[in-house]
Amino acid sequence: MRKKIIYLGLIFFALLIQLSFLSVLISPDVLGDSVLMLVLAMAVLDGFALALNWAIVAGLFYDLASFAPLGQHVIIFLLLIYAVSFFSRRLSVEVKGIGILLLVLFIIAATLISKSLFSLFLMLGQQPVSFFQVFGSFKFFIFQVGCNAGLFFFWLSALKKFKKRFL
């Protein structure tokens, strides 16, 4: 029960960071994805089976809070945590040596896949978008990957501390 309350609180805190703090601090156009990085950190630490329910909860809350079509972020989160948990269980993913490189590759892939699926959902919703409207320039994409990397390592260390202290 304690783990559920802590994880639910972390999801709400990630939503708060995503929808208010990051958009004011940086800009509404250039954001890291705090909720996605929290879900990925859960998948790396807990595995797919335990992160599955939390990805669904986080995706539904994210959809409701950001006025996105219901289920859009759930689909994105589920696909990404499946891929990340598949590779993280087969490869040594630790915050040491080659594990950092693998985590950064996960973050780059998650950013690319998330943006690609988001643009696909926009096009299916009959909103004409181009590649550069969704991804921006290469410099913008690198900045976004950097923001996501910072958020991912923040959530990874926060989850480890909460697990050690409270769980």
Query: Can you give the pLDDT at residue 46?
Result: 84
Is 151's pLDDT higher than 80? yes
**Are the CB atoms for 42 and 7 separated by under 8 Å?**
yes
Coil/strand/helix, residue 112: helix
55's CB contacts (< 8 A; 6+ apart) are 39, 42, 43, 74, 77, 78, 81
Is 28's pLDDT higher than 70? no
Fold entry, domain 2-166:
Arp2/3 complex 21 kDa subunit ARPC3 (1.10.1760)
Instruction: Find the mean pLDDT for residues 141-166.
Output: 88
Q: Give buried/exposed letters for 84-123 (b at 16+ CB in 10 A, else e).
A: bbeebeeeebeeeeeeeebbeebbbebbeebbebbbebbe
CA distances from 58 to 10, 65, 76, 102, 113 (A): 10, 10, 11, 24, 18
Is 22's pLDDT higher than 60? yes
Task: Report domain extents, the chain.
Answer: 2-166
Query: Can you give the pLDDT at residue 109?
Result: 85
116-148, pLDDT tens digit by residue? 787 777 777 666 666 566 666 777 778 888 888
60-115, pLDDT tens digit by residue? 999 898 887 888 889 989 988 888 777 766 665 566 667 777 788 888 888 888 88
